Amino acid sequence: MNELSMKESFVTAQKRDGKMRPALFLGLAFVLLGPPAHAPAQPAAPDVPSLLLGAAWYPEQWPESRWDKDLQLMEDAHLHVVRVGEFAWSTEEPAEGEYKLDWLARAIRLAAKHRIAVVLGTPTDAPPAWLTSKYPETLRVDAGGRRAEHGGRRQFNYADPLYRKFCAQIVTKLAQRFGHDPDVIGWQIGNEYTDESFDAGTRRQFDDWLEAHFVTLDALNRDWTTAYWSQTYGRWDEIPLPVVANENPGLLLAYKHFVTGTWRSFQRVQIDAIRKYADPRQFITTNYGGLGWSDRFDHDEVARDLSLASWDDYVGEGHLNVARNGAMHDLVRGFKRNNFWVMETQPGSVNWAPVNTTLYPGETRAMAWQAVGHGADAVLYWQWRSALNGQEQYHGSLVGPGGEPLPIYAEIGRIGSEFERAAPAIAGTAPKAQVAILHSYDSRWAIDFQRFNRDYHQLSVLLGYYRPLRDERLTVDIVNADAPLDGYKLVLAPDLNVISPQLAAHLLAYVQQGGHLLLGLRSGMKNEYDALNAERQPGPLVGPLGGRVVEYYALDAPVPVSGALGTGAVTLWAERLSVHAKDVKVLLRYGKGNGWLDGYPAMITRRADKGSISYLGAVLDPALMDRVIAWATSGADVKPEFEAVPAGVEVCRRVGADRIVFVLINHAKTPAHIALPDAMRDVLHGGSVTSVELKPQGVAVLEIATH
């Protein structure tokens, strides 16, 4: 099933409450495969909007007499989905083997009365006290050897077989009870996978993983160059479980792959338990945390077993960084190369930032529409109502502890109303890009293990490429480096540090078929074992490029650079390039700087079969980077997707079979007038328009037919 249209595919709802559902519930007919023999027949699943607004709801924290009032307030604010249960293990299983799920069933039925669908969380991020007290081996051990205590969350050992057994048991009970519930549309596994364990059992699993991966110690010693510092290993159990940053780079990279595989298998235990009993129409996801940029494990790999990707979109301190937040949406969309959900976002403020500032009036609305513009089909707020006690009492919410709507409630109600009006236009659409930025967890890890310059931040480097593309009103895909590249006119790799021979062949095939590839600094320095490529950068692509990096320099002062693309300055990092093919063009050269770079190439390009391959070996100032990206897009025949707009106005595009939907957001502090290239339908207000006026934080949703 195509995840993009998953929420549109539920069959017509039964009208249990006697009310006609509004026309926005547009679900496409979905033919269910039929329940397994052991499952009772269930009524048809309800239609849900193709664009959902919701919140995290914790009915177990409140008297049941309050539930209906809360749900009525949700319905009044045009919320159509709630996430429940992801921290409710002690309520669902108050004692070992004693399951109490009737309260959850009543909560789901009551939500359905208010035309609110449910995403059911598995409660495995916060085990109950009876479990951790009776079975302390299920508790995580930190890098210092200290075992976690009860009272927080994520105190579990993700690798422990006994903990996984208990997870499978509670998830099985939930799936048996709710796997064919017509109002449960999906599942969330755990919550924000984060902390690994350094206990003896996990150490043995790592040894076994290394043996399965390398087969022989001779191969491992060779690939890690363990002769350095006399690290050569004669037994698998001699290899340390990494707890410090200055371990062998090969060991550190292997450990990250082990962590990724362990999280994936932890997740798989629960997916298998759900799928054994659940209706195929129910999706399965997990919510990635870490403000989108976390790299504790390979998100692409862990997402392979999920129906759709979702993430938790928080600003924290300050206000929306438009380019960064947009890039994180595009990164998450790239995990499954499909639309995604925002499973949590802040209703104005949080409680965990250094200064817990509140978003400006209208900024929460702009943030929600930015998510939709970048491919979100649902936006859920954390949380619905302030908890009376617990570690997150001060976190933002829609409703206060007494049940009264807070000031942000009205703004979110406006978003919900707009989502309802926009749902028919948004249905079946997704961002479609001419340009891809390559992202690789191996490369991120390899650089972060040895940054060489404390001020070198990979996200900043990526945004240096991303921002000019978005400023030119271009949709951008951020995808794994080994993803299919067919259909992209231009592919950018800001710092693709790890390039194996297989990846090099993949990239070269793209170029030979007519693609245009721009490699950034540090690209191809390492191979798949985090060892230096003997060819220097860009490693296996030196031959096709017709040039290479001679040396790299961490800079303590800016260095001038100039050439056919203009003049500017280089900061943080610079690479001295050499040219060994006559048809290579030098686009930028260093001026007088540290003496080692003076007069040498900083950027080169070469035609290759039907395409081109280029290399930029420096961090450029923003103005010059704009010109580099303009050169790259022009050379690849990448066309802007919308006419020019005033500074501060973001343009997002979603494409369907017969229409294009543009989401325009004015992030500036001054009003903006936008003349449209063609007459378009104003989705939020109706009618045909040829221009729009946007107040600060203003939003326009415009539709144009393509057939």
Q: Which residues are catalytic?
A: 192, 344
Beta bridge partners of 590: 561
Query: 99-107, long-range: CB within 8 Å, 24+ apart, which pairs?
Result: 99/170, 99/173, 101/173, 101/174, 101/177, 101/178, 103/59, 103/60, 103/64, 104/59, 104/177, 104/178, 105/177, 105/178, 105/181, 106/64, 107/57, 107/59, 107/67
Are the CB atoms for 124 and 90 separated by under 8 Å?
no
| Closest listed residue to residue 511, CA positions, set 371, 366, 609 | 609
Q: Is 290 in a helix, a strand, or coil?
A: helix
Are the CB atoms for 356 and 309 separated by under 8 Å?
no
Q: Got the DSSP string for 467-493?
A: HHHHHTT--EEEEETTS--TT-SEEEE
Distances (CA, A) of 292 to 52, 153, 342, 596: 21, 20, 11, 38
39 Cβ neighbours under 8 A, 6+ residues apart: 179, 180, 277
Q: How many CB atoms lie within 10 A of CB 393?
A: 12
* Helices within 337-381 (DSSP H only): 363-373
According to DSSP, residue 360 is labeled: P
Q: Is 503 in a helix, a strand, or coil?
A: helix
**Environment class of 30 (CB within 10 Å of its CB; exposed 0-12, middle 13-18, buried 19+):** middle
Are the CB atoms for 85 and 126 separated by under 8 Å?
no
| Closest listed residue to residue 499, CA positions, set 474, 521, 527, 473 | 527
State how far the Cα of 372 lies from the Cα of 375, in Å rounded to an integer: 5
φ and ψ of 586, to 5 deg: -95, 120
Residue 35: what residue type?
A: P
- Taken as a whole, the chain contains a residue count of 707
